[in-house]
A = this chain, B = another copy of it.
Amino acid sequence: MAKVNDKFELSCPFPFTDYPSITIGHGGGGKLTSQLIEKIFRVFFANRYLDAGHDGAVLEIEGLKLAFTTDSFVVNPLFFPGGDIGSLSVIGTCNDLAMCGARPLYLSCGMILEEGLGTETLSRITCSMKKAAGEVAVQIVTGDTKVVDRGKGDSVFINTSGIGLIEHGRMVGPAAIKPGDAIILSGDVGRHGVAVLAQREGLQFETSLVSDVAHLTPAVLSLFAAGLEVHCLRDLTRGGLATSLVELAEAAGADLVVEESRIAVSEPVQGACEMLGLDPFYVANEGRFVVLLPQSQAEKALSLLKAKEVSAEAAIIGAVSSSASGRGRAVLKTPYGVERLLDRLSGEQLPRIC
């Protein structure tokens, strides 16, 4: 154990004792990640922005409403079907801004390079970032590069942080979710995680598995442009659809009830998941999100989403109901009429998929 002086001990009253050390599962986006955040980060950094449990912070500076978010990318391998760490690092952070209802404007780029990384590889990744940024007219305006010794990193890690402008008056987030809201899912789930895993493990499937990584900004902004009263948005990254629904239900204190039969899973993803023993509802996506808004506006939202390629297969998968206990739950109704209570991802299903 590290030597801790008295003064430090006194002012750090919350040692995280459930686990003496960090495990791979703490990065999985599920239960352990949630514990780590609650027991360390939110204890020390407590403020209303973090407490909102959103994909980013919504700030008001001198009357201007901005979204601010950060994400580090450690995906392995660096290149996978449908994308690479560069495109992912730009799209992922832009998507987090979009989930705050913001238009992405500016990104930062912090690179941690491992000694020995090929400069051609770095060029390809940087080029890919540039292209992804161009797709939603976001600019990479500030950066930093560090190099660590061979064996102390893994080729390249990228952090992107982003600033987005909120151009409407709505407060979008878990706190705005209301009983009666429809839950819309933008497309089939599980592609990204399975595509990265297949690439990493060198698995061959009959049909090609391609990541769903894609910008969600245009689809999201079309909802606001139409004046729809969007209550909450969430992209379904680490932990997948199921973990996201649980997080939203708990943060909102309402029940999110979805029907299994309405949630699309492509045949290649279904097949790969069966082979690998994965539940596609817990597999990460990088181009899928849920929208929660009043039932009366669901059809209009659906038609706007279907007009964008990224959400052409959008579907209403369920609705929000009030929680008897006050503690929100995510409930999956199976085709056999059984109700299954969803829980956060346990452990680490698929490490380093983003």
* Chain A residues within 8 Å of B, Cβ to Cβ: 1-2, 4, 8, 11-12, 14-17, 19-28, 33, 36-37, 40-41, 44-45, 47, 49-50, 56-57, 59, 61-62, 64, 66, 68-74, 76, 79, 105-106, 108-124, 126-127, 129-131, 133, 139-149, 151-154, 157, 159, 161, 163, 165, 348, 351-352, 354
13 A-B residue contacts at CB 8 Å? A1-B118, A2-B121, A19-B119, A22-B119, A24-B115, A25-B147, A33-B145, A44-B126, A45-B130, A45-B133, A57-B108, A61-B66, A70-B142
Chain B min CB distance to A98 (Å): 15
CA distance A56 to B163 in the complex (A): 14
Chain B min CB distance to A80 (Å): 13
Q: Quick check: B59 and A118 within 8 Å, CB to CB? A: no
CA distance A315 to B27 in the complex (A): 48
Q: Which residues of B contact A111 (CB under 8 A)?
A: 72
Q: Quick check: A122 and B16 within 8 Å, CB to CB? A: yes
Q: CB within 8 A of A123: which of B16, B24, B50, B113?
A: B16
CA distance A140 to B14 in the complex (A): 18
Q: Given that A2-B121, A123-B14 are contacting pairs, would A145 and B26 also be in contact in the complex, using a CB cutoff of 8 Å?
A: yes
Chain B min CB distance to A87 (Å): 12
Q: Which residues of B contact A24 (CB under 8 A)?
A: 115, 147, 149
Q: Which residues of B contact A26 (CB under 8 A)?
A: 113, 145, 147
User: Closest B-chain residue to A14, C-beta based?
Assistant: B123
CA distance A352 to B241 in the complex (A): 39
User: Closest B-chain residue to A156, C-beta based?
Assistant: B22
Given A69-B108, A153-B154, list of 6 further CB < 8 A pairs?
A: A11-B131, A16-B123, A22-B113, A22-B147, A37-B145, A49-B141
CA distance A143 to B348 in the complex (A): 20
Q: Which residues of B contact A157 (CB under 8 A)?
A: 112, 146, 148, 153, 157
Q: Given that A123-B15, A145-B37 are contacting pairs, would A68 and B130 also be in contact in the complex, using a CB cutoff of 8 Å?
A: no
Q: CB within 8 A of A20: which of B64, B113, B119?
A: B119
CA distance A131 to B11 in the complex (A): 9
Q: Given that A22-B115, A40-B126, A70-B161 are contacting pairs, would A146 and B110 also be in contact in the complex, using a CB cutoff of 8 Å?
A: no
Q: Quick check: A115 and B64 within 8 Å, CB to CB? A: no
CA distance A26 to B114 in the complex (A): 10
CA distance A153 to B117 in the complex (A): 14
Q: Quick check: A163 and B122 within 8 Å, CB to CB? A: no
Q: Which residues of B contact A351 (CB under 8 A)?
A: 147, 149
Q: Quick check: B163 and A71 within 8 Å, CB to CB? A: no
Q: Quick check: A68 and B27 within 8 Å, CB to CB? A: no
Q: Which residues of B contact A146 (CB under 8 A)?
A: 27, 72-74, 157, 352, 354
Chain B min CB distance to A73 (Å): 8
Q: Which residues of B contact A8 (CB under 8 A)?
A: 124, 127
Q: Which residues of B contact A121 (CB under 8 A)?
A: 2
